[in-house]
């Protein structure tokens, strides 16, 4: 674990997790589903631009950017249809999998967090149906006291709204929360909410993710929450 930038000391009370690419290793599934959707709309698949256009963003934001980049307009009704189709296809795809691909070292990390009495939450641009499916199937649903999804905020990441709402739901000031994120829009959202953040190198290389985070780790197994707690309370 590398300390990049120490936040001001505050007692740590809650840990807020991003979902796609942080809790679940599903970016390849999303990439494929978005491209299938684009092809069905006579749009070009994202190819090499996928990271730039889609990662860390809600499907709505990503699709709006893609339509704009390809000089195509989309009205709200059509957008909602596309989002519903994407959400249904995601749930179907996950339903076909024998094992839900949550990161292998997440469970031990959650056990460790719970033993310290910290409150846990999820802040994501993913849809509630998809998140609930994953958390229920993996037996994790009860662990998270606040779950903020695409439906709960008007503006997705990098807007701070989702993080601020989760902090409010938990009754914890944002500066007493810790965010865990795998992408730049997510880290920017946490920062804009006044929340220190860990960058986890699940999606981007370590040296890239650490530039925008207070701490950087390769995986949950490397994340020393007790050391981070000491930084908050000292």
Pairing of β 2-3 and β 215-217: antiparallel
CB count in 10 Å sphere of residue 102: 18
Of 16-24, 95-103, 135-143, 158-166, the segment contacting Mg ion by CB under 5 A is: 16-24
Q: Which of 13, 15, 16, 21 binds Mg ion (CB under 5 A)?
A: 21
Of 13, 14, 20, 61, the residue at the interface with Mg ion (CB under 5 A) is: 20
From the CB of 69, what's the least distance to Mg ion, in Å?
A: 21
CB 182 within 8 A of CB 21: yes
Of 40, 42, 37, whose CA–CA distance to 63 is shortest?
37
* 18 lines the binding site for Mg ion (CB under 5 A): yes
Closer Cβ to Mg ion, 90 or 232, answer by number:
90
Is 130 a binding residue for Mg ion by CB under 5 A? The answer is: no
Given a contact cutoff of 8 angstroms between Cβ atoms, the answer to whether 94 and 119 are in contact is: no
Nearest approach in angstroms of CB 185 to Mg ion is 8
Determine the Cα–Cα distance for residues 22 and 99; give it in Å rounded to an integer: 17
Quick check: 127 binds Mg ion (CB under 5 A)? no
Where do we find the tokens 């307009």? 73
Residue with tokens 């909410």: 193
Question: Which positions from 140 through 199 interact with Mg ion, judged by CB under 5 A?
Answer: 182-183
Looking at 15-23, 91-99, 106-114, 134-142, which segment touches Mg ion (CB under 5 A)? 15-23
Residue numbers of the site for Mg ion (CB under 5 A)?
Answer: 18, 20-21, 182-183
């Amino acid at each position: 674990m590398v300390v990049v930038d120490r936040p001001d000391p505050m007692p740590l009370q809650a840990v807020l997790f991003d979902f796609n690419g942080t809790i679940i290793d599903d970016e390849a599934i999303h990439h494929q589903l978005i491209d299938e959707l684009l092809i069905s709309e006579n749009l070009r698949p994202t190819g090499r631009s996928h990271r730039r256009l889609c990662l860390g963003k809600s499907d709505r934001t990503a699709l709006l950017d893609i339509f704009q980049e390809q000089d195509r307009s989309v009205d709200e009704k059509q957008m909602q249809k596309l989002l519903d189709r994407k959400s249904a296809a995601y749930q179907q795809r996950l339903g076909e999998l024998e094992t839900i691909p949550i990161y292998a070292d997440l469970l031990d990390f959650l056990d460790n967090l719970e033993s310290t009495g910290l409150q846990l939450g999820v802040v994501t641009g993913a849809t509630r149906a998809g998140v609930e499916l994953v958390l229920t199937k993996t037996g994790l649903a009860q662990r998270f006291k606040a779950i903020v999804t695409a439906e709960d905020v008007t503006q997705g990441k990098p807007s701070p709204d989702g993080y601020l709402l989760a902090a409010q739901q938990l009754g914890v000031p944002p500066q007493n929360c810790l965010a865990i994120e795998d992408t730049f829009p997510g880290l920017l959202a946490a920062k804009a909410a006044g929340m220190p953040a860990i960058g986890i190198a699940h999606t981007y290389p370590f040296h890239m993710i650490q530039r925008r985070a207070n701490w950087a780790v390769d995986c949950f197994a490397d994340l020393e929450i007790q050391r981070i707690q000491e930084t908050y309370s000292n």
